[in-house]
Amino acid sequence: MVSSSSAANSKDASNLVLATTLTFFFAELPLGIIYMLDPFAGFKEKGFDMQVVLSTLFQLFSIILTVTTATHMVICLLISSEYRKACLFIIRCGYVPKTKKQTQFVIFNSKTRSTAY
């Protein structure tokens, strides 16, 4: 049974990842179209320069793609514990730190009062 707070957190995380993914495709798809139109952009017609338009759009969508790419890793690190473990494993070059042994101390009260009459 899943608690309502963990279900809400999971839904928020899913929405955040979905928003990041949609932003990525919003930037990547136009860049692909710009690359396909680039060979045909050498014409000028009545003051309309296709190369300037494509260059401006390329710069705009490149900025969006760069911001999305830069924030995606941070979002994944904040959301996913598995992602954090994998990143730490890579950063440590495969070294897994030993877990500290927890020692338990039991204290006995050895002071007993004996009264003699």
Q: In this predicted structure, what is the pLDDT of residue 106?
A: 67
Task: List residues bridging with 48 in a β-sheet.
Answer: 45
| Average pLDDT over every residue of 93-115 | 70
Q: In this predicted structure, what is the pLDDT of residue 59?
A: 93
Residue at 1 is within a domain: no
Residue 102, token pair as written in the block:
């927890």
Q: Which domain holds residue 34?
A: 11-113
Q: How far from 55 is each of 4, 11, 18, 24, 51, CA to CA, in Å?
A: 49, 38, 29, 19, 6
Q: How many domains does the chain have?
A: 1
Residue at 2 is within a domain: no
- Report whether pLDDT(113) > 70: no
Q: Which pTM was predicted?
A: 0.55
Residue at 67 is within a domain: yes
Q: Are 66 and 73 in contact (CB under 8 A)?
A: no
Q: What is the mean pLDDT of the chain?
A: 77
| Residue 45 backbone dihedrals phi, psi, to 5 degrees | -135, 115
